[in-house]
Amino acid sequence: MAVAAGKAARAASRLRGGGSALPGLVVERVDPAFLAHALADLPRGIIVVSGTNGKTTTTKMLAAILREHGLRVFTNPTGSNFTRGVISSMIPEIHLGGRLDADVAVLELDEAHALKFAAAVRPTHSLLLNVARDQLDRFAEIDHTAQLLAQLAEQTTGGVVLNIDDSFVARIRDRVADGVEVRYFGVDPSISERLPELMEADVRFEDDWAAPSPTDGDGLLKPADERSFEVRFGAEGVVGPVELRQRGLAAMINATAATTTAKMLLGQDFREASTVAALQKVQPPFGRGEIIDADGQPLELVLVKNPAGFTVALGTYGSTPVASMVAINDNYADGRDVSWLYDVSFESLRERGVAITSGVRAYDMALRLQYDDVAVEEVEPDLDKALERFLTAYPDEPKRIFCTYTAMMALRRDLAARYGLANFGEDPQ
C-alpha cells in the first residue's frame, strides 16, 4: 500500500511540477517503517556518506565505482539528503512488494538526518568526510556537528571510513563499536602543506591530539596536477593514474574517499582498473564545477557554502581570470547567517573584478568584495535578470558563477531551459 501511494504521489507531483520529497512524505505517513522493510537484506549492505563538504560528489563517485564492479547500486541521485528524499528516490526503482532490487545502497545524508536514517535502518558502512563551519544556524557549533558524525559511526555495523587529516573526524575511531572495521583516507605526507586549502584552522586545531599512522588499507592521495592523481595503499598497491573531469584538490580527495570505501566493501573483488575507469567517466554533479556550453563559451557553475569551500573554489577555479558573477542567497538551505563571507579572501578576483553580484545578499556580497579591493561592475538581486545581463554582456568569453545552494538551483534551472540541459527536481537538501 505504501509503495502504491508513493508511486501515485510521484505521478501527481511530476504533473504539477512539485518537489521531489513529496512521495517520500506520503510513504512515511502510510508506513513509518518503510525504510527498514525496503532496505532489508541488501547483499552488500547500506553505505551512508556524510560530512560537511563533498557528500554529493563523493556519493556519485562511489556509486560509479561499485557499478563498474558489476553491482546493482541504489543511490539518491538528486542529492536529496533527508530521509523522505531517500524514500522518494526509491519509488521509481522499487517493486510493489516493497523490496528494492539492488545489491547495495549508497546514500548521501546530511549530518543531522543521517541519525534519523540510522534510527530506522542501521548502516553497514559509513564514510565520514569532514567537519567545517557550514550553516551554523542549522547545526550549531563544529563540536555538535562532529558529535552527529560520531553517533552515526556508533550505529554502523560493518565498517567506517574516516578522514585522517581532519582531527574531529579521525578521532571518531574511539567511538566505533568493537568488531567494526576502520579505515582512513587522506593526503600523502608529501603534500600535507596543501591541507589549509581545504580546512579551516579551527577545524584542524585540536589540543595535542596526534593523527594515526596510515596502514596498508588506508588510501592516500598523491596528485600529479589539478586533475590527475594516484591513490596509494601502502604495500597493497596503487590505484591510478586517474584523470578526473572535475578540477581541484577537493575533487581528488573525494575520489580518494570513494576509492578507499569501495576497497573496504569489495575486499578481494576490488579491481584497480575498474576503479580508474569509473572515476574517469564521472561527470561533475550539478553546480559542483559543472561546465555548461553557453552559446559556444564555457560557463562554470561553482557551489560555495562556507569559508573552506569558497576558499577552495577560488583557488581551484579563480586562478584564471574570467568574467565572474557571485550569487549569494540566505534561504534556509543556504544558512541564514552569511557573516562567514568575511572569513574568505577574495584577493584572487582583484585582477579582473566581478561583473555582477546577485541573490538575496547581492549588496552584502558587493560590500564584502569592496573590503578586498575587488571591483564590482553591477549589483542585481534578481537572479533571472542578473543571469540575462551576465550572459549578454560577455558573449564571447569564458564565464564563471560562484553561488550558494538555492541560488545554484535557480540558476541551473534557468540555464537548463536556455540550453536544453538535463535538469533535476526540487531538492530539499
- pLDDT tens digit sequence for 213-269: 899 999 999 998 877 999 999 988 899 899 998 878 888 999 999 999 999 999 999
Contacts of 338 (CB under 8 A, 6+ apart): 328, 330, 361, 364
More confident residue, 235 or 165: 165
Order the strands of the 354-358 sheet from edge to edge: 288-294, 297-303, 399-403, 323-327, 354-358, 376-380
Examine the domain organization and report whether 56 and 170 are in the same domain: yes
> Does residue 24 lie within any of the structural domains?
yes
Q: How far, in Å, are 14, 90, 298, 331 from residue 21 at the CA level?
A: 11, 11, 32, 18
Catalytic member of 137, 337, 382, 384: 337
Residue 25: its pLDDT value, please?
Answer: 60
Contact 186, 256 (CB under 8 A): yes
CATH number at residue 293: 3.90.190.20
Examine the domain organization and report whether 208 and 250 are in the same domain: yes
- Domain end point (choices 257, 281, 305): 281
Q: What is the mean pLDDT of the chain?
A: 83
Q: Which three cell numbers stand for residue 82?
A: 533527508
More confident residue, 158 or 86: 158
Examine the domain organization and report whether 151 and 260 are in the same domain: yes
Examine the domain organization and report whether 343 and 251 are in the same domain: no
> Does residue 428 lie within any of the structural domains?
no
- Domain end point (choices 266, 281, 296): 281
- Note down the domain range covering 392: 288-419
Reply yes or no on whether 337 is catalytic: yes
Examine the domain organization and report whether 56 and 184 are in the same domain: yes
Q: How far, in Å, are 103, 148, 191, 277 from residue 153 at the CA level?
A: 22, 9, 28, 30
More confident residue, 383 or 336: 383
> Poorest-confidence range of 17-21, 118-122, 360-364?
17-21
- Model confidence, pTM: 0.78
Residue 202: its pLDDT value, please?
Answer: 42
> Does residue 23 lie within any of the structural domains?
yes
> Does residue 335 lie within any of the structural domains?
yes
* pLDDT of 183 higher than 50: yes
> Poorest-confidence range of 98-107, 342-351, 377-386, 398-407?
98-107
Contact 129, 251 (CB under 8 A): no
Task: Give strand pairing partners of 318.
Answer: none
Q: How confident is the model at residue 321 (pLDDT cuts 50, 70, 90)?
A: confident
368-375 average pLDDT score: 96
> Does residue 112 lie within any of the structural domains?
yes
Examine the domain organization and report whether 111 and 249 are in the same domain: yes
Examine the domain organization and report whether 212 and 339 are in the same domain: no
> Does residue 426 lie within any of the structural domains?
no
Examine the domain organization and report whether 273 and 394 are in the same domain: no
> Does residue 206 lie within any of the structural domains?
yes
Instruction: Give per-residue pLDDT as tens, 269-314.
Output: 999 999 999 999 998 776 667 788 898 999 988 888 878 778 878 8
Q: How confident is the model at residue 88 (pLDDT cuts 50, 70, 90)?
A: confident
* pLDDT of 330 higher than 80: yes
Kindly give the pairing relationship between strand 354-358 and strand 46-50: unpaired
* pLDDT of 110 higher than 50: yes
Q: Where are the beta strands (DSSP E) in 67-197?
A: 73-75, 104-108, 125-128, 159-163, 181-187
C-beta atoms surrounding 201 within 10 Å: 8
Examine the domain organization and report whether 275 and 294 are in the same domain: no
Instruction: Give per-residue pLDDT as tens, 29-70.
Output: 566 667 777 787 899 999 999 998 889 899 999 999 999 999
Examine the domain organization and report whether 267 and 299 are in the same domain: no
N-term to C-term CA, the chain: 27
Examine the domain organization and report whether 200 and 337 are in the same domain: no
Residue 303: its pLDDT value, please?
Answer: 86
Alpha-carbon distance of 289 to 30, in angstroms, equals: 39
- Domain end point (choices 281, 313, 332): 281
Alpha-carbon distance of 12 to 91, in angstroms, equals: 13
Examine the domain organization and report whether 62 and 85 are in the same domain: yes
> Does residue 367 lie within any of the structural domains?
yes
The number of domains in the chain is 2
- Say what percent of the chain tops pLDDT 70: 79
Residue 140: its pLDDT value, please?
Answer: 52
* pLDDT of 82 higher than 80: no
* Sign for the pseudo-dihedral over CA of 242, 244, 250, 254: negative
CATH number at residue 57: 3.40.1190.10
